[in-house]
Amino acid sequence: MADWNQIYQEKTVEKSTPAQVLLDNRHLLPLSGKALDYASGLSGNGVFLAQQGFDVTAWDLSDIAVDKINAFSNENKLSLSAKKVDLESGIEIGQGEFDVVVVSFFLHRESLPLLYKLLKPSGLLFYQTFSGEQLNGVGPSRSAFRLRRGELLEVFSNMKLLSYREDCVYPESNNVISDQAFFVAQK
C-alpha cells in the first residue's frame, strides 16, 4: 500500500492540475454551487473549481495533502477546505450534499454507490481513472485498481450520461489517451 504522506511530502498544490475530464467538460458545470474533490490528492480539481466560484470540499487520506491544501487555500483566499477522510472505511456521508463531485485516478469499487448519494438532484459526477489492461506502462497493473471496460456505464446506469470516452484499446497518439475512462453524468 502506498504511503500517501510520503508521496505528497515533496509535491506542491501549485503544481497540481485538474483532471482532463473536468477541463474538457467544464462547459457542463453549473455557474456555482458546492463541489467535492473526492480522493483529492493535492486537489488540482478543487483549486480549479474554487477558482470557478464553487464552494469546494476536498477529502483525502493524507494528512500532508490536507494540510497543504488548507494552507494554499488560506494563502490564496479560496473557498476550498480539505478534510482527512479514509474513503475505503465505510464513511458516514450526507445525502444530496454536492452539486458537483469529481474523482480522478482513484478506484474503490465498494464506495462507487456513495458518489451517487453525495449528489444533489441534477448534480454532476466527473470521473476519470485507469481502465482496461495496462497497455502503455502507465498506472496500476493490477485489475483491482483499473476499471473494467464500460464499468462506470453499468454502475451509474441510473444517471443521465453527458459525456463518455474510453480509449483503452488504442495505442497512444495525438487524439487518444489510452488506458483511461472519462465519464460525466447527471443525477
What CATH number corresponds to the domain at position 134?
Answer: 3.40.50.150
pLDDT over threshold 70, residue 12? yes
pLDDT of residue 6: 81
Range of the domain at 137: 4-186
User: How many domains does one find in the chain?
Assistant: 1
pLDDT over threshold 50, residue 1? no
Mean pLDDT of 20-34: 97
pLDDT over threshold 70, residue 121? yes
Distance CA 55, CA 135 (A): 38
Distance CA 161, CA 28 (A): 12
Tell me the whole-structure pTM to 2 decimals.
0.90
CA distances from 152 to 56, 130, 158, 184, 185 (A): 24, 12, 11, 10, 10
Q: Which residue has the cell 487524439?
A: 175
User: What share of the chain in percent tops pLDDT 70?
Assistant: 85
Give 108's contacts (C-beta < 8 A, 6+ positions apart): 87, 88
